[in-house]
Amino acid sequence: MDSLSLSGICRHQFSPITMLNFNQSNHRMEKAGFVRKPEKGGLTITQVASPLRRPVIVPSLDNETVDRRDRNHVAWTSVRQERWEGELVVQGEIPLWLEGTYLRNGPGLWHIEDYNFRHLFDGYATLVKLQFENGRLIAGHRQIESEAYKAARKNKKVCFREFSEVPKYENFMAYVGDIANLFSGASLTDNANTGVVKLGDGRVVCLTETQKGSLVIDPNSLETLGRLEYSDSLGGLIHSAHPIVTDAEFLTLLPDLVNPGYLVVRMEPGTNERKVIGRVNCRNGPAPGWVHSFPVTEHYVVVPEMPLRYCAQNLLRAEPTPLYKFEWHPESKAFLHVMCKASGKIVASVEVPLFVTFHFINAYEEEDEDGRVTAIIADCCEHNADTTILDQLRLQNLRSFNGKDDLLPDARVGRFTIPLDGSPYGKLESALEPDEHGRGMDMCSINPTKLGKKYRYAYACGAQRPCHFPNTLTKLDLLKKKAKNWHEAGAVPSEPFFVARPGATEEDDGVVISLISEKNGNGYALLLDGSTFEEIARAKLPYGLPYGLHGCWVPKE
C-alpha cells in the first residue's frame, strides 16, 4: 500500500539522560528519561543499554511543525522533525546474534505549510533505522531528500504529482504544461516512500512506483546519495514498487500503458542495466492491471493481471476519483501468467476469480511423485475483490475513527493454484480461515530463505475488531491453518519483519521486528520471538513515529 504517481517496570531508578535537540530551529536543550511507568502485566527490565556514547536527539514541542488540527493518533500525524538519532533503553533482551540494521520506509510528512494531504500514500518519505549491535539499539529517522520533497519545502507547495495530489495551477496554460510534463515523466514524483531494498552489490535503494523514484541512501546516516539511474533504454515511467531482490538478481515488472502488457526484466548486481527476460501481453481490458507486487518461484515469474487497471483519464485529472489512478473493470476478468525465468517463455496463462491485492506473500512449485512441476501456488493478501480499501486509506478516514465502528474491509490470505497442464482456469481460495486473523490481512514478510519455495510461516498485520486499520501482528501457520496474534489496545503496528537467526535450521527461528505507534502519541520498537511469537524486547522512542510501510535488513559487515 504505497505511493503511486502515473502511476519499566522494576525497582531501579535511572538518571535522566540529557538529550540534545538537533532540529534546525532554535530549540532548547532538554532533559528527559526513558523510564516506563509501571503497568499491569508489564515487562520486567532484564537489560538496560550501557551509558550513551552520543547525544540523543529529541524534538522540543515549542516550534513543532505538526498541524495541530490533525492531532489524532500519532500513526496519522506528520513526523515532528526532519531527522533524529539516539540510543534507546531496552526493556527485555536483544539477542546478541542480531547484528545489523533494520530499515523501514514509508510516508511520514502529510502536510506542507497549512495544506494537508489527502491520502496515506501521498506523504513524503521518512526512513527509519533500528541499528542492533551487541545487545544495544541505536534508532534514528530522516526525511528522504527527493526532488519532490525539496521542491515542496522550497516553494511551500506540492510541485510534483503524488498518489492523489497534483500541483495547484495558477492558470490553464500551467495545467497544459503540467500535462505535457506528465507524458515525459518530468512532473511525476520521485518521492520514494514505498519500500527499501538492499541490492546484491550492497547498495540500498528506496523505491516507489515511478522509475525516477529509485533513490540510493546511506544505511548508516540515512543520507540521500542520489538517484539510481537505469542505464538501459527500456523507457517507461512506472515499475512494480516491490521488485524481487536477492544477492544474485533484481527482478521487476514494467507495465506498458500504450500496448497493454508487462516487460519482465532482470538487473545483475553491480550494474544499472535492466535486461528483458520476456513480455506478457494483457489478455483483456483497456490497460494493464496494477502490479504493485508480484511473486516468483525458483524457476518462474508470476505476472498478475488484475481487473483494477491503470486509467489514463484518471491520471490526467486534477482531482482524484475514488479509485485514484485506476478503474475497476470486472468485465475484463482477471488472469495470472507464468513465465520461465530462463527462456522468457510463457508456460501458463489462466483466468482466475476477480481479486484485489497490494501484496503477494510468496509462491512455490507443486510437484508430483515423479518430481514434475504440476502447478504454481501463489499466496497474497487479498481484499475479497473489494476496491474500497483504496479510498478507506484517505487520511480523513484514518484520523476520524471513533474506536467503535468496524470500518476495515475484509481481507484474507488468498491462495492461487495455477495448473501447468494447459487448463484455462486457475483457483483462488482462502489459505486459512480468515477469522483466524480477524479478517484483516496485509504487510507480510517471510523467512527470506523460503523465497520462491514451499513455506509454512508468514508474519503479517491482522485485525482485532472493531477497527478501521490492521492493528495486530500475526504469525500465520499455513500448514496447521492457524494464526497467533499480538495486540495492544490503541496501538498501530507497522509491517512485522522477520530476521532469521544465523545458522538456524527451523523456518521460524529468528526475531520479528515492528515499529509501534501508540494512541497516546508515543511509540516503541518491538521484538517478538519468531517461533513463540512472544515479546522479547521493546525500546521506547522519544516520540511516536507515524505509520510506515516496508523494510529491509542490512547485516553488519
pLDDT of residue 63: 33
* 383 belongs to an annotated ligand binding site: no
Task: Return d(Cα 258, Cα 281) in angstroms, integer.
Answer: 11
The confidence score (pLDDT) of residue 262 equals 98
- What is the spatial distance between Cα 181 and Cα 316, in angstroms, rounded to a whole number? 11
Three-state secondary structure along 147-179?
A: HHHHHHHHHCCCCCECCCCCCCCCCHHHHHHHH
Cα distance between residue 406 and residue 416, in whole Å: 28
pLDDT score of 42: 32
242 assigned to a ligand binding site = yes
SS3 450: helix
Q: What is the pTM of this model?
A: 0.87
Whole-number pLDDT of residue 377: 98
Query: Does the annotation list 73 as a binding residue?
Result: no
Instruction: Give me the half-sphere count of Cα atoms (radius 13 Å) on the Cβ side of residue 421.
Output: 11
- Cα separations (Å) of 449 from 365, 376, 452, 499, 500? 15, 18, 9, 10, 9
| Residue 217 and residue 196 in contact, taking contact as beta carbons nearer than 8 Å | yes
Helices (H) and strands (E) in the chain, counts: 5, 37
For the chain of 557 residues, list the mean pLDDT of each consecutive stretch of 10. Answer: 36 30 33 32 30 36 37 90 96 98 98 95 98 97 98 95 87 72 80 98 97 97 97 93 97 96 98 98 96 98 97 80 93 98 98 98 96 97 96 95 92 98 97 98 97 98 97 98 97 98 97 97 97 98 97 95
Per-residue model confidence (pLDDT) at position 319: 78
Alpha carbon 109 to chain centroid, angstroms: 16
Q: Is 27 annotated as a binding residue?
A: no
